[in-house]
Amino acid sequence: MISILILAKNEQIDLPGCLDSVAWSDDIHVLDSFSTDATVAIAQAAGAQITQRVFDNYAAHRNAGLQLQFRHPWVLLLDADERPTPELSREMQQVVLSATPETSGFRFRRRDFLFGTWLKHAQISPFYIRLVRPERSRYTRAVNEVIEVEGQIAELSYPLDHFPFSKGIAHWVSKHNVYSTMEAELIHLQQGLRNPSIKTALRDPDFNTRRLHQKALFYRLPGRPILKWLYMMVLRRAILDGYAGLTYATLQAFYEYLIVLKTRELDRGGA
């Protein structure tokens, strides 16, 4: 009823748990970016189909994955550090049976964890479209990619769990160092949204559209790293998540500062 697409590169730590969480599917695909660890062997042992592709950017890579030959009309899109809860797995298998022809995707909440704590308040973007009809779906934006789905989007009740710090803080920092470089290049080249709207950022019924305009407006503000930390700590009440919330807000502000520094460097033509 549902095929699975997992993106992976050197995911021998996280992939086993991800594969276990979707063992109910008879069509699991792993799109591997030429891992040098045991990722491919782990996927093969679990009976997954392996496709290898050189990574170029996040939107292009995910779009390539959507072009694979799936056994079922619905595809669940996962990263190796994500796990659908048993309740979500049951709900997904039920709703695709009764989905209308107009329904093209399902959105559900993702729960990020740090130090074993759900970042209930600190998490900035908790809702994601991950169960889709692949022929009606495409990704845009090279980093922090956004999915565009033609057709109706329905909501699911149960969460997808995400463990972004499963490989440690150093790995998270290294990954976001790459992200910040890509974000800075997009800003420098002015490839983002050219005319963001405050009204759309606040009132558009589609969450992804609101986020697109919010991000474009945010990039125009001075003092973004401090504003982001205050937004997370005060407005989103990350402090209620305890030490994990404080840590996550500080890491996100640091990430924002890297984007600012790298954008200025590019604008100046170098160091």
CB atoms within 10 A of CB 43: 26
| Among 162, 178, 199, residue at a domain's last position | 162
Report d(CA 31, CA 63) in Å as an integer.
11
**pLDDT reported for residue 208:** 66
Each residue's pLDDT tens digit, 94-108: 999 999 999 999 999
Residue 62 contacts residue 145 (beta carbons within 8 Å): yes
Nearest alpha carbon to residue 175 among 143, 147, 207: 143
User: Does the pLDDT at position 214 exceed 80?
Assistant: no
| Among 131, 162, 193, residue at a domain's last position | 162
Do 134 and 203 sit in the same domain of this protein?
no
Phi–psi pair at 5, nearest 5 degrees: -125, 120
Do 28 and 157 sit in the same domain of this protein?
yes
Per-residue exposure over 3-18, b if at least 16 CB sit within 10 Å of its own CB, e if not? bbbbbbbbbbbbbbeb
Name the amino acid, one letter, at 268.
Answer: R
Do 24 and 118 sit in the same domain of this protein?
yes
Q: How many domains does the chain have?
A: 2
Do 191 and 132 sit in the same domain of this protein?
no
Mean pLDDT (whole number) for 197-211: 77
Do 148 and 182 sit in the same domain of this protein?
no
Q: pTM for the complete prediction?
A: 0.86
* One-letter-per-residue 3-state SS of 140-185: ECCCCCEEEECCEEEECCCCEEECCCCCCHHHHHHHHHHHHHHHHH
User: Does the pLDDT at position 271 exceed 70?
Assistant: no
β-pair partners for 118: 113
Residue 129 contacts residue 136 (beta carbons within 8 Å): no
Q: Which pLDDT band, with edges at 50, 70 and 90, does 75 fall under? A: very high
Mean pLDDT across the chain, nearest whole number? 93
Do 20 and 96 sit in the same domain of this protein?
yes
**pLDDT reported for residue 270:** 66
User: Does the pLDDT at position 192 exceed 60?
Assistant: no
Do 155 and 31 sit in the same domain of this protein?
yes
Q: Which domain holds residue 230?
A: 169-268
Each residue's pLDDT tens digit, 6-17: 999 999 999 999
240, two tokens = 């209620």
Interacting residues of 199 by C-beta distance below 8 A, sequence separation 6+ = none
Report d(CA 96, CA 73) in Å as an integer.
9
CATH number of the domain to which 78 belongs: 3.90.550.10
Nearest alpha carbon to residue 233 among 213, 212, 247: 247
Do 158 and 190 sit in the same domain of this protein?
no
- According to DSSP, the β-strands at 103-114 and 160-162 are parallel
User: Does the pLDDT at position 196 exceed 80?
Assistant: no
Do 212 and 153 sit in the same domain of this protein?
no
User: Does the pLDDT at position 193 exceed 60?
Assistant: no
Residue 219 contacts residue 187 (beta carbons within 8 Å): yes
User: Does the pLDDT at position 72 exceed 60?
Assistant: yes
User: Does the pLDDT at position 209 exceed 80?
Assistant: no
Name the amino acid, one letter, at 138.
Answer: R
Do 156 and 208 sit in the same domain of this protein?
no
Do 153 and 23 sit in the same domain of this protein?
yes
| Among 130, 162, 194, residue at a domain's last position | 162
Do 147 and 19 sit in the same domain of this protein?
yes
